[in-house]
Structure 1
Amino acid sequence: MTDTDTQFPLELNQPRLSIQKPEPRYDKQGEMADAERLDRAMRGFVKDFGATAALYMESCVHCGQCAEVCQYYVQTGDPRYTPIWKLEPFKQAYKRETGPFAPFFRLFNLKRRVTVQELEDWQDLIYDSCTQCGRCTMVCPMGIDIASLVGLARHGMAAAGLVPHELWATVERANREGSPLGATPAVLKDRIAWLEDEHGVEIPLDRERADVLMTISSIEVMKYPQSIVALARIMKRMGASWTFRSDGYEATNFSMFAGDQQGQREASLKLIEAAIAVGAKTLILPECGHAYQALRWQGANLYGKPLPFRVVQVAEYLAEGIRQGKLQLQPVQNSATFHDPCQIVRRGGVSEAPREVLRALGMELREMDAHGAYNWCCGGGGGVVTIHRADPLRYKTYQIKMQQVEDTGAEMLVSTCSNCRQTFDDGQAHFHWDKTAQSLLELVADHLVTEQE
């Protein structure tokens, strides 16, 4: 999109949300020699080279179609941002260590060993400039799941202590405190007490038995607390038996994006065990894209067996309530466009439910040029929004989304992901844009038909 640079000039020197950015750097975790770091990375890579990954590694025909749908390549024209190229060190390790011709490659040194310096430089490609949105996966003619391969590559990087500082610090805090943003059980309890008093709603916490376990994103607790009030109002109207649990409420799982498999598993097990303890038939995930990916599609694998309850994203639950006649909504007299969160829609398949809710609100839906599974990413996913040095490039790719929204002419921008919402808020502040992303959940809560009606 060549015209967006003119319409939305990129202001590289403007601090994000008035926070001074640190100097760019390639960070390392842990004290270890380069040889050990490299060995850990290679062992991490090899561990993930199963049959599926091997098939992907051998299947690329270098057609370049993935480049044309990657926001980083489209906005820069830089071939190193071609999605499949981002996996080159991973592929080199496969060819040399475990591929069918690995002994041949090693004997004649046809694939030299990856160096620690290359891995440090590689951070820019698999962390800073990849949101794991999965658009590349959608168009690959060979069916290569490039986004998943990036996730596998991050496992080896995390094992070697080669994760961008801000993302790793977020993961460490989550492992230490139970929440990446400091929304500890004590903070959650205090926040719930305040919201109950302020808004006159009941928000159950730590009930011994409930049919529904509600989870929350720390972004909602700390930045968008109105979403908790919205949940309470909707659950009351639904007549549901539900609760939050202080031993399993945090749905945010940044360990997944960092490549910290153990941290990802522990975060998911907290939710799983809390749901089992309370006897929940349903676990509802909040407006958080990667939370849906982590538990809905990876949770059972981490748990080691099928989950004894169903997992739904909150937009799916809202659509169910509307279908069952439990939620009657007042019409909204605005046109709207819907931003499809990548991890919920493209990677998770929840495309129709939010649109069903918007139709029930009587809104005129103005779809973006590419929408549903083909929508463009907001640019903050995959942990990218946490990495300060990635901001200039992230803002440049964000212009695609701005132009998409502007082209619809819609009065409202709606989504069902608080992480996307945070990225939109940041982009709005950076570009002095006049569009604010609205929460689908809060929109429903604000337009419930009153009992008198």
Structure 2
Amino acid sequence: MSASLQKGVSVLQEVIDAPIASFFESCVHCGLCAESCLFYTESGDPKFTPIYKVEPLRRIYEQEYTLLGRLKKLFGLSKPVTDAELEEWRVLVYDSCTLCGRCSMVCPVGNDITYMIRKFREGMAVSGHAPPGLIDATTRSIEIGSPMGLRLPAVKAQMKHVEEDTGIEIPLDKEGAEYMVLLSSMEIINFPEYLNAIARIFRQAGKTWTLCSEAFEATNSGIQIGVSDLARVLVQRIVNGAEKLKVKTVISPECGHAYTALRWEGPNLVGRPYTFNVQHILEVLDELRTQGLLKTEGFETQRLTFHDPCQIVRRGGVIEPQRHLLDMIASHYVEMSDPGKMNWCCGGGGGVSAIDEAMPLQLQAFKRKKAQLDELDVQTLVTACANCRIVIEESLEHYQMKLPVIGLTEMIAAHLAGSGAGTESRPAKEPQP
């Protein structure tokens, strides 16, 4: 056994905690999780059944922690996990799993398969079986501060553009601000309109906010690749920046795994509670709405729908804010089939979009989202995750579907009172509690 494999297997033994042991013991092998996974439903290949994706981990659990498993191992009836096997499983653990959590939602005995795959990735990464694209992104995150290799000058350049467009000063390292705003690399490079929208919304609401020069990046590649030590480093940077600036709330941007990493896993990763709150931008906007500080005018006249990002909605619990916000500005909003917590993934979360060799499988899996859109016949798709937006735009182009994809924060900003947004005959709604 190679040293890297031995270390990887040792890590897999260590990550098998009480929840994982109980999940393996309680699994009734019903196969319901298969029908919840878009990689299975769109391919029909049984190897993409979610619980099957953790089979090597199950075997290690059986061999190391059960009497029957030890006997089977002793008499050669249960084969040890090998390098070749883990390499084969890389497609199942990384390329065909977005950690979306839909399989966990349908499990009749409550097994969190997403949690199991997340832990499985720990051993995969240590044993050298993580995809090169994710390894590179994580390396850049640790060494440079961003998975796309962006440095502070790139952020300052976008700040300058926004200041020129809006006439609003973009604060940097402002101590004592109410909010510290994080950005994902994709928002800095692909969707600078997000920062533009934030500046205009907070100006209207009269809120103080700031960017942090030492912690502007929200994306946590450590979570995606499955290495808790690296995820901890990336979360700690944000914690240090927020505490240094003495802010009250850190805002996670339109990015799914950034929210999961900082809001739900972060305190456990750094080993203590935060001295600040963490909210997704949708939660902040909805809070401003209930306070009467978010004032809009006019309505989107096109038929539109909302794609619920998995990590924000299903795993993060942010379900109603986006609907409250859309109700302020959209007169022809329609729900997808299986909306909210049961919505289907875009196919590129969990680091899949960073794996070049996973693209064909990702596009095949997108057929599930395509079917949702085809049955609605909408003119606009709204979402609140930059990664979802990129993946959906590329997939729509592949399937020759001309459908604009817009971030909800950007759309809200376009309808701020006094922005000159067009109106319908329908009267504007009052903010709802």
- Please say whether Structure 1 and Structure 2 have the same fold, judged by a TM-score greater than 0.5: yes
Give the CA deviation at 1:452. 10
Does the Cα contact within 8 Å between 2:166 and 2:200 map onto a contact in 1? no
Secondary structure of 1:337 counterpart: strand
Q: Which runs of 5+ in 2 are unaligned?
A: 422-433
Equivalent in 6, 10, 16 of residue 49 of structure 1: 16
Equivalent in 248, 266, 276 of residue 281 of structure 1: 248
After TM superposition, the runs of 4+ consecutive aligned structure 1 residues lying more than 6 A away are none
Output aligned runs, 1:71-220, within 5 Å.
Answer: 71-99=38-66, 101-220=68-187
Aligned to 2:308: 340
Does the Cα contact within 8 Å between 1:210 and 1:278 map onto a contact in 2? yes
Does the Cα contact within 8 Å between 1:46 and 1:98 map onto a contact in 2? no
RMSD: 1.5
Does the Cα contact within 8 Å between 1:212 and 1:283 map onto a contact in 2? yes
Alignment of 1:374 onto 2:329: no
Compute the TM-score of the two structures, normalised by the length of structure 2.
Answer: 0.94
Aligned to 1:424: 392
Output aligned runs, 1:249-264, within 5 Å.
Answer: 249-264=216-231
Alignment of 1:444 onto 2:412: yes
Aligned to 1:308: 275
Does the Cα contact within 8 Å between 2:346 and 2:388 map onto a contact in 1? yes
Equivalent in 298, 312, 335 of residue 265 of structure 2: 298
Secondary structure of 1:414 counterpart: strand
The residue type equivalent to 1:376 in the other structure is W
Output aligned runs, 1:387-402, within 5 Å.
Answer: 387-402=355-370
Range 438-447 or range 328-337, more displaced: 328-337
* Residue-by-residue CA offset, 1:79-114 (whole Å, 9 max, x unaligned): 111110011011111111234545333322332210
Does the Cα contact within 8 Å between 1:201 and 1:229 map onto a contact in 2? no
Alignment of 1:363 onto 2:334: no
Q: Which runs of 5+ in 1 are unaligned?
A: 1-33
The residue type equivalent to 1:36 in the other structure is A
Aligned to 2:428: none
Does the Cα contact within 8 Å between 1:425 and 1:437 map onto a contact in 2? yes
Give the CA deviation at 1:260. 2.0
The residue type equivalent to 2:166 in the other structure is H
Secondary structure of 1:365 counterpart: coil
Equivalent-residue separation in structure 2 for 1:217 and 1:265 (angstroms): 17
Secondary structure of 1:307 counterpart: coil
Identity of aligned residues (%): 40
Compute the TM-score of the two structures, normalised by the length of structure 1.
Answer: 0.90
Does the Cα contact within 8 Å between 1:337 and 1:414 map onto a contact in 2? yes
Secondary structure of 2:279 counterpart: strand
Secondary structure of 1:408 counterpart: coil
The residue type equivalent to 1:352 in the other structure is E
Equivalent-residue separation in structure 2 for 1:148 and 1:418 (angstroms): 23
* Residue-by-residue CA offset, 1:339-390 (whole Å, 9 max, x unaligned): 0000000111101010110011143221111111111100010111111111
